Chain A
Amino acid sequence: DSGVTQTPKHLITATGQRVTLRCSPRSGDLSVYWYQQSLDQGLQFLIQYYNGEERAKGNILERFSAQQFPDLHSELNLSSLELGDSALYFCASSPQGARDSYEQYFGPGTRLTVT
């Protein structure tokens, strides 16, 4: 157990809907990262937050957004969902945010199915 928690475990929703995925980092970790794992694209970095501020963006669609709250938990919001958004969404955390080769600790993921 990495100490990173994600809820919900599974989510099934319809196209056009909006969902929120939640992540609680390990105690003391300031950075949170979101990744999307789909069958055809592999594991892709979406976005990183460090101590409440957006630090870096990867291949995140405009329909997606995220935030990190003062208690350091993070939420990933996915809107106007399409069938292609069906994937496993992972959250990871690490102690620091930049220029340090810190291990990232991954959560168990949220499996999103869009029907």
Chain B
Amino acid sequence: AQRVTQPEKLLSVFKGAPVELKCNYSYSGSPELFWYVQYSRQRLQLLLRHISRESIKGFTADLNKGETSFHLKKPFAQEEDSAMYYCALQTGANNLFFGTGTRLTVIP
């Protein structure tokens, strides 16, 4: 069965510091992974997907199949990055299985 684990419920970093939000997955098929973000009073929205290999708002995430991880990283955190971040695994029917989320707080 598929599973997504985000070990940190809460993460606080200072502005300008590097940030890494951890995500590990378990899935027997070929994984497609996403990071979704929910800013305060806004809807859940896609941040980035691994197949795009893109950097969005300075964030990147690399799929490491050996370690079954998809950690989200940003070299210099900004205050506007404070939000709830969800790692999600897509199965064949385009369903998303989410981790429990990490609340990131960037301290000014």
Contact = CB atoms under 8 A, between A and B. Distances in A.
Physical interaction between A and B: yes
Interface of A: 1-2, 31, 33, 35, 41-45, 48, 55-56, 58, 90, 92, 94, 96-109
B51 A101 contact: yes
Interface residues of B, number: 20
B100 interface: yes
Interface stretch (B13-21, B62-70, B91-99): B91-99
B45 A43 contact: no
A23 B37 CA distance: 21
Which one of B86, B90, B96, B97 has the highest number of Cβ atoms from chain A below 10 Å of its Cβ?
B96
B94 A100 contact: yes
A108 to B, nearest CB: 6
Contacts of A109: 43
A109 B100 CA distance: 17
B43 A2 contact: yes
B32 interface: yes
A108 B42 CA distance: 8
Contacts of A44: 98
Given A2-B45, A42-B101, A98 B96 contact: no
Contact of A97 (B32, B44, B94, B99): B94
A109 B90 CA distance: 21
Given A45-B95, A101-B32, 10 more contacts: A44-B98, A45-B97, A56-B93, A92-B44, A94-B94, A99-B94, A101-B90, A104-B46, A108-B43, A109-B43
B98 A48 contact: no
